Chains A and B, each alone.
Chain A
Amino acid sequence: MSQMGPDATFREGLERGEIRLQKCRSCGQSVFFPRVACPNCHGIDLDWQQVSGKGEVYTTTTVRRKPERGGDYNVCMVELAEGARMMSRVTGFAPDLVAIGMAVTLFVGDIDDTAAVLCKPAEV
């Protein structure tokens, strides 16, 4: 039996290319960021669930950066189909064209060699 806490369990998933998301058995709410008690009902019975990878952009910003430093990039809040919300980035797409309400697919990629949950526009 592992002694890993919710944070380490989530990060281990990322290293393996999995997006691990908690779900509260008491109230059914998806929970992100990972923690030891449900922020909605305060129950402690949290399970890990498979995520569909489907999501929608809740809000977005283009962070301006000089071209010689890598250029502009996107930072957004993505709402997972399962209900939780997290910060992410839409990649492979012009940052200023990322729009609220846009359907995205979540995947595990990396930023500066660290595993991260990223998004790409969903295939229509």
Chain B
Amino acid sequence: MTHELRGKSAIAGLGHAGFGEAHGQTAYEIMAEASLTALADAGLGLGDVDGLFCTMMEDSMPVLMAAEYLGIQPGVMEGTMFGGSSFVDYLGKATMALNAGLCDVALICYGSNQRTAAGRLVTASRVPPYEGLYQPRYPVSAYAMAAARHMYEYGTTREQLADVAVAARAWARHNPEAFERGELTREDVLNARMISDPLGVRDCCLVTDGGGALVLVRGERAGDFPNAPVHVLGVGAGSTHRQISQMPDFTTTGARESGKRAFEMAGVGPGDIDVVELYDAFTINTILFLEDLGFCAKGDGGAFVADGRIAPGGALPVNTNGGGLSCVHPGMYGIFTIIEAARQIRGDAPGMQLDGVELALAHGNGGVLSSQVTAILGAASTV
């Protein structure tokens, strides 16, 4: 039986702004630039937006700040904040609101000047009460402990982790929008400065500026806009903890549940997916998510990513823009998994455009492997 939300919304426009270093710009300016670009891409304007879905790294009420900044008074506002996965989750919430007729044009947006504002960046997060005393470096030490456990249980190696970073860089080298485009070898990753063992600095995502935005409309209207529509076929969420010390099993994430739910709604499986965009805050993420989303068995992720399997020309294209490791990572990367997946379906990816992409998976991670949200996107042929 087809899920009642399958295909009920579509991405009509997308945009980004301020990639890399956006000197002299505020986070809200970057958010607004990305939003205007996405609306223009859809042939719409700010006056058409009646649903706003946004969170930011700063402020306790960012969706209000964003609405105020954009000069809109939307009837539907959603600002759930559970990290970078929130933006993938907004795809589901926006689909519900559109399908229920609560709004007609939903804008999902984000912006950050994390790189150029470094030193005066304020985060709304407080130190976890049962962890802060031990001074783990957040968030890297949390991911490092997950990586260490994965290595212990499954024999995953630092070389295999390095191959994730090498593959991301290989994609980024084709992408003029990517921040890091220099050659990167396995040895470079292994010899890089250690941050929190077993993760070195090249196992960690970039710190850049940047913003992104998406315009969603009801699926039935998807053909009325200038660009090829990208249909939202399934969205699923899962969460297991907030503080890393409460993660039930350090080698299995909520992506197992989020993936199952998204695939079920979309009525497809991992074998049907043409391109995979994962939130790769750290190299271990890609391995964990490929396993938990069902692209390989639990424990096989290290071997799966080795030797170019997920790199350009490999069997499974993963993070085709260069990911958070090499393209862009402005505090939260989630929205960029959707943007790159949608561009691959539309056929206007800025880097290496794959042939005949009909089904794409975008996966967001939030907190310290805490919240996971998976979306399945499809071309018009898949609806």
B137 within 8 Å of A by Cβ? yes
Flag if A61 contacts B197 (CB, 8 Å). Answer: yes
Does A75 contact B146, Cβ atoms closer than 8 Å? no
Which 6 A-B residue pairings sit nearest by Cβ, starting from the closest? A59-B149, A61-B144, A62-B197, A59-B145, A87-B245, A100-B152
Asked if A51 is at the interface (CB within 8 A of a chain B CB), the reply is no
- Which residues of chain B have C-beta atoms less than 8 A from A116's C-beta? 133-134
Q: Which of A75, A100, A101 contacts B135 (CB 8 A)?
A: A75
The answer to whether B45 has its CB under 8 Å from any CB of chain A is no
- Which residues of the partner chain B approach A73 to less than 8 Å between Cβ atoms? 135
Given contacts A33-B130, A96-B197, contact A63 B149 (CB under 8 A): no
* A64–B195 CA distance with the chains assembled, in angstroms: 5
Which residues of chain B are near A89, meaning CB under 8 Å?
Answer: 134
- Which listed residue, A62, A86, A101, touches B245 by the CB 8 Å rule? A86
Collect the chain A residues with CB atoms within 8 Å of residue B194's CB: 62, 64
Interface residues of B in 134-180 (CB under 8 A from A): 134-137, 141, 144-146, 148-149, 152
Q: Which of A95-124 contact B (CB under 8 A)?
A: 96, 100-101, 111-112, 114, 116
B131 at the binding interface (Cβ < 8 Å)? yes
Q: Report whether B136 and A61 are in contact in the complex, using a CB–CB cutoff of 8 Å.
A: yes
Query: Counting chain B CB atoms within 10 Å of each CB, which of A62, A87, A111 scores highest?
Result: A87
A111 in contact with B133 (CB, 8 Å): yes
Report if A88 contacts B (CB, 8 A).
yes
Given contacts A59-B149, A63-B141, A100-B152, contact A86 B130 (CB under 8 A): yes
Closest CB in chain A relative to B336 CB, distance in Å: 27
B131 touches A87 (CB 8 A): yes
- Return B138 CB to nearest CB of chain A, in Å: 11
13 A-B pairs in the complex with CB atoms less than 8 angstroms apart: A33-B129, A59-B152, A62-B196, A63-B136, A63-B195, A75-B145, A76-B145, A86-B130, A87-B245, A96-B197, A100-B148, A100-B149, A116-B134
Is A54's CB within 8 Å of the partner chain B?
no
B148 touches A60 (CB 8 A): yes
Chain A facing B: main interface SS: strand
Count of A interface residues, CB-CB < 8 Å: 26
Residue A58 CB within 8 A of the other chain? yes
Q: Which residues in chain B, 189-232, are within 8 Å of chain A measured between CB atoms?
A: 193-198
Across the interface, which residues of B come within 8 angstroms of A88, CB to CB?
134
A100 to B144, CA, bound (A): 13
Q: How far is the CB of B142 from chain A (nearest CB, A)?
A: 9
How close is A35's CB to chain B, nearest CB, in angstroms?
11
Q: CB-CB < 8 A to B244: which residues of A?
A: 77, 87
CA–CA, A116 to B133, complex, Å? 8
Bound-state CA distance A61–B144 (Å) is: 6
Query: How far apart are the CA atoms of A60 and B142 in the complex, in Å?
Result: 10
Does B304 count as interface, using CB distance less than 8 angstroms?
no
The listed residue (A60, A63, A64, A87) touching B130 by CB distance below 8 A is A87
A112 to B136, CA, bound (A): 14
Q: Which of B134, B135, B196, B197 has the most CB of A within 10 A?
A: B134
Which residues on A sit within 8 Å (CB–CB) of B245? 33, 77, 85-87
Apart from A33-B246, A75-B134, A77-B145, what are 4 other A-B pairs with CB-CB below 8 Å?
Answer: A61-B141, A63-B137, A85-B245, A87-B244
Which chain B residues border A100 with CB–CB below 8 Å?
A: 148-149, 152
CB B152 to nearest CB in A, in angstroms, measures 4
